[in-house]
Amino acid sequence: MPRSLPEDPLIRRLVQQARASQLSRRTVLAGGVGGAAALALAACAPESSGGPTPATDQSDSDPTLKWANWPGYMDEDDEGNYPTLLAFTEQTGIEVDYLVEINDNNEYYAKVRDQLALGQDIGADLITLTDWMAGRLIRLGYTQELNEANIPNKANLVPDLLNVGFDPGRTHSLPWQGGFAGLCWNKEKLPNGLKTLDDLWDPELAGKIVVLSEMRDTMGLILLDQGIDISQDFSEDDFNAALDIFREKVTSGQIGAVRGNSYTQDLINGDAIAGIVWSGDVTLINGEVGSDLFEFAIPESGGTLWNDNLMIPIGSPRKKNAETLINYYYEPEVAAEVALWVNYITPVVGAKEAAVAIDPEAAENQLIFPNEETLAQVKTFRALTGAEEQSFSTAFQSVLVGA
Amino acid sequence: MAFGMIGTSDAPAVADAAPGRRSPVALLLLLPGVAYLALFFVVPFVSLIVTSLKAPDPFGEIGRYVYAFRWENYVEVMTTYWPHIARSFGFAIAATIIALLIGYPIAYFIGVKLRRFPLLQALALVLVIAPFFISFLLRTFAWKQILADEGPVLGVLQSLTILPDDARLTGTAGAVIFGIAYNFIPFMTLPIYTSLERLDLRYLEAGGDLYASPATTFFKVTLPLSMPGVVSGTLLTFIPAAGDYINASSDFLGAPDTAMIGNVIEANFLRVENYPVAASLSIILMGAILLLVGLYIRRAGTKDLV
């Protein structure tokens, strides 16, 4: 039974007031249960069938731009500034926030995929992803169509890269840089260098090997070593045979680490003395250690060739700014400046001439301007079907968790 | 969630305020908590169960799944990943025991020996919490550097020929257990400290007066009185340790063959986009923790849980 109300009139009134505004238990419970049920239903709601819609472009009122890129992929001076980006800001008034936040395609995609699916701003107006991942984003409708009127320099694109399978005519993407995956070693510890993958599996190097978490590069090199042409239609059995080799090397401890772009740290701090790496990074690593300690080579059995592609995510409200920036980096002189610093293959026609004007020896640099002979040594990993992608990447990742 | 269960056993405390009936005000006060749990636990949990039963999209884009009742997911992950599940609990139990062996003396020292010096006691407590001032990731990364092949520890151990020349510290089960224990020592120490801090020293005197040896006094008096702290400390360590995926990750102290269930879940969620596998593993992990913790609490008792 409720207690009788207090004598004091003031307190009595306060108590009555408080009682009047009480919720009954039934109401509270009903509300709670109803809410939870609604939320549970919402959580199970099917994803909408149509793709996300592009954000409205606010570039004219908002002269800024966020660009997500990989480490060591932009010319940098001693103070850590990016000269070509500063020049771009001076020229166009667009402030660029350059984010070095992509370490691995899968890792980055996992971070942004939910926002992409909802058409939200992912915190980057321009992203740089490798061919196969670029293909996935474009296929899923997660990128905005490029307006060619804003990118007249698209005409400078190397013709070979115009009609790629994942983006015919390059309506949604343009290459940033390309490169090879190959072998790299510490010249002090390994004066004889590495020529084949077998050299990498030398027991002397046990635990001192780092390889890429990029399946197409690491598996690509192993497949090529098995005499399989990765650009042609190889079978699942071929892949599994190569995977067995990879698994054996990981389980036995021959491969000490499997990393994204952070593999450079393993080489710099001495945890690894050789590995499967990306071509241009070697110059950067040597810059960090302060000598020409490391050397890169494409293995005799062949290396992989890939491109990283600039794309504008579906939720970016600064599309025109991004296009202006792409256009800027397709100026041969600018492209040459970047390429000479990053040591990757530039996709811009005329960059070679511009680079030679800066550094006459650049024309011979096979990492930036590969000749026919070099290109004959590398292959592009073929496009995988959805089912293959699922099964190959599951198999690859399960090796990394020891399953 | 385990704490939610523990909480219900203490529920009569609420009823004491208004004997004989349930006060609507008390329910109202519970509302934020209930709403919070509904929103951030029940809803995600339902969604997790639904996801764990999904089947791959027959039209094959990676990361696309359709609603189904594919309970085989559970069988498949159990057969594939049982070593990881076993390893997770093995590592978590080992790390909890190590953290207890290290944390208990620290807590005893601060809570009992430093009682006469409040300033020192406060300082010592700050030192226990001090590691939290630096990010968990950074501290683990620092250990990776310290234990690295070219790092100081391995070099010293090798030159003293305690370890052979080709030995490694990082990437071993020992390093992972060490890392987990290190990271959770404060979680172990603080609850035990709160128990010991209230310990009435006259009980210890009484033990001595009754001719008990110091060891007997410790096991018959001190330890039982500090059990609530030990129980909550071990739970606070064991539960997160079983799901840890930082220490065991090969980017930190682990290697592929030390991968714990958290690493498998991470790989499936973030790299392979195999959400059903990741979700069913999460539910198995949750169930296993619940079972183990339930058994433990039944044995240890929760009456005075801090």
Q: B181: domain CATH number?
A: 1.10.3720.10
With beta carbons less than 8 A apart as the criterion, state whether A185 and A194 touch.
Answer: yes
Residue B123 shares a structural domain with residue B269: yes
Confidence bin at A44 (pLDDT 50/70/90): very low
> How far out from the chain centre does Cα A8 lie?
72
Mean pLDDT of chain A: 88
- Contacts of B83 by beta carbon, 8 Å cutoff, 6+ apart: A402, A403
- Tell how strand A163-164 and strand A167-168 pair up: antiparallel
Cβ of B272 within 8 Å of Cβ of A390? The answer is yes
Best to test chain A binding among B244, B271, B277 (most A CBs inside 10 Å): B271
Q: What average pLDDT does the segment A296-320 reach?
A: 95
Range of lowest pLDDT (A118-132, A302-316, B67-81): B67-81
Q: What proportion of chain B, given as a percentage, has pLDDT over 90?
A: 59
Q: Is residue A138 pLDDT above 70, yes or no?
A: yes
Best to test chain B binding among A108, A251, A401 (most B CBs inside 10 Å): A401
Residue B10 shares a structural domain with residue B132: no
Residue B35 shares a structural domain with residue B128: no
User: Which of A43-57, A109-123, B61-75, B94-108 ranks highest by mean pLDDT?
Assistant: B94-108
Are A64-177+307-368 and A179-305+382-400 the same fold in CATH?
yes
Which residues of chain A are within 8 Å of residue B171 when distances are taken between CB atoms? 253, 256
Best to test chain A binding among B23, B43, B252 (most A CBs inside 10 Å): B43
Residue B38 shares a structural domain with residue B138: no
Angle at Cα A334 formed by Cα A328 and Cα A339, nearest 5°? 125
Range of lowest pLDDT (A38-42, A55-59, A204-208, B108-112): A38-42
SS3 B27: helix
Confidence bin at A133 (pLDDT 50/70/90): very high
Cβ of B148 within 8 Å of Cβ of A43? The answer is no
- Contacts of A265 by beta carbon, 8 Å cutoff, 6+ apart: none
Q: pTM value?
A: 0.79
Range of the domain at B171: 74-300
Residue B6 shares a structural domain with residue B99: no
Q: Is B62 domain-assigned?
A: no
Q: What is the pLDDT of residue B168?
A: 82
**B51 CA: distance to closest CA in chain A (Å):** 9
Confidence bin at B132 (pLDDT 50/70/90): confident
Q: Is residue A43 pLDDT above 50, yes or no?
A: no
- The alpha-carbon radius of gyration of chain A (Å, integer) is 27
**A209 CA: distance to closest CA in chain B (Å):** 13
**Kind and range of the H or E run holding A305:** strand A303-311
Which residues of chain A are within 8 Å of residue B256 when distances are taken between CB atoms? 250-251, 258, 399-402
Number of domains in chain B: 2
Q: Is residue B306 pLDDT above 80, yes or no?
A: no
Cβ of B27 within 8 Å of Cβ of A28? The answer is yes
Mean pLDDT of chain B: 87
Confidence bin at B304 (pLDDT 50/70/90): low
Cβ of B62 within 8 Å of Cβ of A257? The answer is no
What pLDDT digit, counting tens, does each position of B23-65 carry?
788 888 999 999 999 999 999 999 999 999 998 877 767 777 8
Residue B134 shares a structural domain with residue B275: yes
Distance, CA of A370 to CA of B49 (rounded, Å): 52
Q: What is the pLDDT of residue B150?
A: 77
Confidence bin at A390 (pLDDT 50/70/90): confident
Q: Is residue B208 pLDDT above 60, yes or no?
A: yes
Distance, CA of A66 to CA of A136 (rounded, Å): 22
Confidence bin at A344 (pLDDT 50/70/90): very high
With beta carbons less than 8 A apart as the criterion, state whether B270 and A107 touch.
Answer: yes
What pLDDT digit, counting tens, does each position of A75-85 carry?
998 888 999 99
Distance, CA of B118 to CA of A92 (rounded, Å): 63
Q: What is the pLDDT of residue A237?
A: 94
Cβ of A106 within 8 Å of Cβ of B59? The answer is no
Cβ of A386 within 8 Å of Cβ of B61? The answer is yes
Return the CATH fold of A179-305+382-400.
D-Maltodextrin-Binding Protein; domain 2 (3.40.190)
Q: What is the pLDDT of residue B12?
A: 45
Distance, CA of B45 to CA of B51 (rounded, Å): 10
Residue B25 shares a structural domain with residue B89: no
Confidence bin at A295 (pLDDT 50/70/90): very high
Confidence bin at B2 (pLDDT 50/70/90): very low
Confidence bin at A47 (pLDDT 50/70/90): very low
**A146 CA: distance to closest CA in chain B (Å):** 24
Cβ of A43 within 8 Å of Cβ of B27? The answer is no
Q: Is residue A251 pLDDT above 60, yes or no?
A: yes
* CATH architecture group of domain A64-177+307-368: 3-Layer(aba) Sandwich (3.40)
Confidence bin at B20 (pLDDT 50/70/90): low
Q: What is the pLDDT of residue B4?
A: 42
Q: What is the pLDDT of residue A149?
A: 95
With beta carbons less than 8 A apart as the criterion, state whether B226 and B192 touch.
Answer: yes
Look up residue B243 and give its DSSP letter.
T
**Kind and range of the H or E run holding B213:** none
Distance from the first to the final alpha carbon of chain B? 16
Q: Where are the alpha helices (DSSP H) in chain B?
A: 2-9, 12-17, 24-37, 43-52, 72-111, 118-129, 136-147, 152-159, 173-197, 201-209, 214-217, 223-242, 261-266, 275-300
Distance, CA of B108 to CA of B214 (rounded, Å): 14
Residue B44 shares a structural domain with residue B129: no
Residue B195 shares a structural domain with residue B273: yes
Q: What is the pLDDT of residue B166?
A: 76
Q: Which residue of B has its CA nearest to A399?
A: B256
Distance, CA of A401 to CA of A393 (rounded, Å): 13
Residue B34 shares a structural domain with residue B127: no
With beta carbons less than 8 A apart as the criterion, state whether A327 and A152 touch.
Answer: yes
Distance, CA of B248 to CA of A323 (rounded, Å): 43
Contacts 24+ apart (CB under 8 A), A40-44: A40/B42, A40/B43, A40/B46, A40/B47, A42/B43, A43/B43, A43/B44, A43/B46, A43/B47, A43/B50, A44/B46, A44/B47, A44/B50, A44/B67
Domain layout of chain A by residue ranges:
64-177+307-368, 179-305+382-400
Cβ of B271 within 8 Å of Cβ of A393? The answer is yes
Q: Is B235 domain-assigned?
A: yes
Residue from the list A269, A394, A401 with its beta carbon closest to the beta carbon of B274 = A394
Q: What is the pLDDT of residue B169?
A: 86
More confident residue, A143 or A390: A143
Q: Is B69 domain-assigned?
A: no
Residue B78 shares a structural domain with residue B48: no
What pLDDT digit, counting tens, does each position of B257-295 carry?
899 999 999 999 888 888 999 999 999 999 999 999 999
Residue B152 shares a structural domain with residue B263: yes
What pLDDT digit, counting tens, does each position of A88-126 carry?
999 999 999 999 999 999 999 989 998 999 999 999 999
Q: Is residue B251 pLDDT above 90, yes or no?
A: no
Cβ of B272 within 8 Å of Cβ of A397? The answer is yes
Q: Is residue B162 pLDDT above 80, yes or no?
A: yes
